[in-house]
Structure 1
Amino acid sequence: MDKMIFFGKTVEEAVERGLQEMKVTKEKVVIKVLEEPVKGLFGILGSKPAKVELERIVDPIEEGKNFLMNVIEKMGMKVDIEVFHRKEAVYFNLVGDRLGVLIGHHGQTLDALQYLVNAVAGRYAKGKERIILDAENYRAKRKESLEELAERVARKVLKTKESVKLEPMNANERRIIHTHLQNEPHILTVSEGEEPYRSVVIHYKE
């Protein structure tokens, strides 16, 4: 539980009891004193203990990482997760063997895991911090591959003046194609179709 109530003869005792039971340090919780201790008659009759509420401070990035580790372990794999904080996002870089299983065809498994990790972290995040999953530098390699594909197909379209429809891609991959060809004066790119079969079509324009 992320929020629990504890009692003690003093506020300090109640807090310490809570920290021990929740297995956290004082820096990892928000402490709220609900009731101060009251001494009764002769120190016994009518006395009341201190009552405090401890709420665990949840780190969305840590929750996302723990979730991902659990999923990977259930897949029977041993993988380390390197965490890099960048201005645009937080990167989880997967390091280990058989990473192709986690990447999947054209990164589909990696994208699915990334979606789930962001969904878990998003339950605790106050801002809009984004987590990007990568493995074996797959994202950069895939971007380079898509840009090469865009150039190759664009040359064909310029030569034949016939439109070419690419294979279905996710929104991020389509964006890479559009961005890479946006300054070509005689090339027009549009996305057509419905998800998950939406594709980029490269047209010739006068």
Structure 2
Amino acid sequence: MTLYTSETVDGAVKQALQQLQLDRSQVEVAVLTKPRKGFFGIGARKARVDIKPAVTVNSKQPEKTEKPVTKTTDESATEPKSASASKPVTTPTDQTVATTEGPTVNRQAEYQQVAAELNQYLSTIISQLGIDATSTVEVKHRHINMNFKTEQEGLLIGKHGRTINALQSLAQVFLNHKRFSKLEVTLDVANYRERRVETLTRLAENMAREVVATGKPVYLDPMPSFERKQIHSVLADNEHVMTYSAGTEPKRAVVITLK
């Protein structure tokens, strides 16, 4: 019996392992006395443990040292070399195909799956809004396009696109929650996005002319980030005005001012 003492059981075990130069899995620990702090030092006692090597550790190690000796004496030195020399010619090419094509195919399958879950999620919300609509989903690389068809287009789009934009923001939150933050989603109804781009382009050009004429900056209404990007893009090459965003979400807006 080998006894070790310390302020704690773990401390006694750690001390024993250092002296025996063994791992925790290679020893058997028996706690003989548990530590006690006492009252102002009265009645305090240290932990006492009995440490001894496990039987299974000593019985298995001789087998591991004997096997390599028998293999090196029985096998010839020329056979492994000839076998290994012929295999690398074909196996590396097979492995590269598996590592380059496999993850891409699997990732696209994951995108398709999360897009289907998103479609079901949004369809439930739209139904709860009292809107009868059908949808089609298309996944291209890292972008999900969802197109809704309904006879209640105005209700689904909302004033200035507030409803469809809110649903699109909610869809992005859903993807982030599913740990697909790199995916982008666009919701559309009756080509609203295309018509909205045309509207924003005309708005940006008209407001730019007003800024040049009056010399005063123009503050546009709050917009989601993807619509603000459209304004910035339209006026990026304008020689007379510049744009920037001001405010905090969801009331962040574009400001057009003279350069």
Instruction: Work out whether the TM-score is over 0.5.
Output: yes
Q: Identify which of structures 1 and 2 has the higher relative contact order when contacts are C-alpha pairs closer than 8 Å and 6+ apart.
A: 1
Question: Which has more radius of gyration?
Answer: 2
* TM-superposition CA deviations, 1:86-137 (whole Å, max 9, x none): 3451100000111211211221211221222233344445572222111111
1:155 aligns with 209
**Structure 1 regions of 5+ residues with no counterpart?**
1-57
After superposition, give the CA deviation of every residue in 1:39-73 in whole Å (9 maximum; x if it has no partner).
xxxxxxxxxxxxxxxxxxx9111110111111122
Secondary structure, in 3 states, of the residue corresponding to 1:76?
Answer: coil
CA contact (8 A) 2:132 2:152 kept: no
1:177 aligns to 2:240 (yes or no): no
Taking the TM superposition and a 5 Å limit, the aligned residue runs for 1:1-206 are 59-87=113-141, 89-124=143-178, 128-205=182-259
**C-alpha contact 2:222 2:254 (8 A) present in aligned 1:** yes
Larger relative strand fraction: 1
Q: 1:126 to 1:182 in 2, by over 3 A?
A: closer
Cα distance between partner residues in 1 of 2:221 and 2:183? 31
C-alpha displacement at 1:187, in angstroms?
0.7
Aligned length: 148
Amino acid at match of 1:74: Q
Q: TM-score, normalised by structure 2?
A: 0.53
- Structure 2 gap ranges (5+): 1-111
Name the CA shift for 1:96/1:196 in 2 (closer, same or farther; >3 Å): same
State the one-letter code of the partner of 1:164. V
CA distance in 1, matches of 2:175, 2:244: 33
C-alpha distance in 2 between matches for 1:204 and 1:106: 27
Distance 1:65 1:203 in 2: 41
TM-score normalised according to structure 1 size: 0.65
Identity among equivalent positions (%) equals 36
**Partner letter of residue 255 of structure 2?**
V
Q: C-alpha separation between the residues in 2 aligned to 1:101 and 1:73? A: 12
Pair 151,78 (structure 1): closer, same or farther in 2 beyond 3 Å:
same
Q: In the alignment, which residue of structure 2 is the partner of 1:45?
A: none
Counterpart residue number, 1:23: none
TM-superposed CA distance for 1:77, in Å, is 2.2
CA distance in 1, matches of 2:187, 2:178: 19
SS at match of 2:135: strand
Kindly report the root-mean-square deviation, in angstroms, between the aligned alpha carbons of the 2 structures.
Answer: 1.9
